[in-house]
Amino acid sequence: MSGFDIFAIVFVLLVIVTLFAGVKTVPQGYDWTIERFGKYTRTLSPGLNIIVPYFDRVGRKMNMMEQVINIPEQEVITKDNATVTVDGVAFFQVFDAAKASYEVAHLEQAIIVLTMTNIRSVMGSMDLDQVLSHRDEINERLLRVVDAAVSPWGLKVNRIEIKDIVPPADLVEAMGRQMKAERVKRADILQAEGQRQSEILRAEGAKQGQILQAEGRKEAAFRDAEARERSAEAEAKATQMVSEAIAKGDVAALNYFIADKYIRAFGQLADSPNQKIIMLPIEATSILGSLAGIGEIAKATFGEAAASAAARRTGSVPNTSPPPVAPQR
């Protein structure tokens, strides 16, 4: 083999090595920085890229996908001097590979330290109750502060979440007693409010009942007065008719009127609560005799015609008196 052949083989191999050195394939989700003699020149995007061999070299291979890092536990003193243990998690993404490569060293460590510092600052300005109940507010404030701080590094912090907030054991016990007392107090207030509402409803019901009773008594009194008025009108009309009948010589109406009054008076006497025993020596013949006496009065008043008419209507009355006793000889 001559020297020319050896030179040709070496040249071909050099060309092949040069081609491989000048062609770079960047995977999806990554950006590579290119340095020429140690100085950053440009960034290679995903795909096939060509560089100047032997002069350019790959500097940093930056992950451009969203990444997550855990924030370790740390103790934080709140505004009211309560000590709590806090940890969290941060989600970030590189949007400028050059800045993320050359503006800060140990990128993830820098994010962790910055986040922990801001957690102490944010939670240290809040009371314990606010720290435990306003976790969303803490996350929002942390995200705003940390994202502004890492922006010069070519990063974008998408989310910062507080995972656990653990107060001391004695503080947890005190909070449990406080919560129990608050719940008991709230239950007592609700019970008192329910009892008050119940009493108000009962009073309203009693009031409505009394109003309805008063309305009923009023209506009943009105009906009774109306009935008495109609009864008085009927009584006056009956008296007028009896008077007209007597004036015309009809004594039967007078007899009926007096008998009706007599029977009503007898019924009232029998219904009287003050009378326990009622003894009335009344017989039917006596009633008829009274009617005969009424006929005599009418005869003396209105004449023989009225008396005969009364006799015809009343009929004959048998004599119930004992026969006369003959004188002894």
- Residue boundaries of the structural domains of the chain: 3-60, 67-167, 169-242, 248-314
Which residues are CB-contacts of 163 (< 8 A; sequence separation ≥ 6)? 87, 88, 89
- CA 25 – CA 48 distance, rounded (Å): 5
Mean confidence (pLDDT) of the chain:
79
- CA 173 – CA 167 distance, rounded (Å): 10
What pLDDT was estimated at residue 66? 93
- CA 253 – CA 257 distance, rounded (Å): 6
What pLDDT was estimated at residue 180? 85
Pairing of the two strands 83-94 and 47-50: unpaired
- What is the tens place of the pLDDT at every residue in 155-193? 999 999 999 888 888 877 877 888 888 888 888 898 898
How far CA 53 is from CA of 12, 41, 42, 220, 238, in Å, comes to 16, 14, 15, 119, 143
- Band (65; pLDDT cuts 50, 70, 90): very high
Which residues are CB-contacts of 98 (< 8 A; sequence separation ≥ 6)? 33, 40, 43, 154
CATH homologous superfamily of 67-167 equals Band 7 domain (3.30.479.30)
Q: Read off the tokens for 258.
A: 């007096």
Q: What is the mean pLDDT of residues 255-275?
A: 65
Q: Which residues pair with 103 in a beta bridge?
A: none
Of 12-21, 126-135, 231-240, 312-321, minimum mean pLDDT range: 312-321
- What is the tens place of the pLDDT at every residue in 123-150? 999 988 888 888 999 999 999 999 999 9
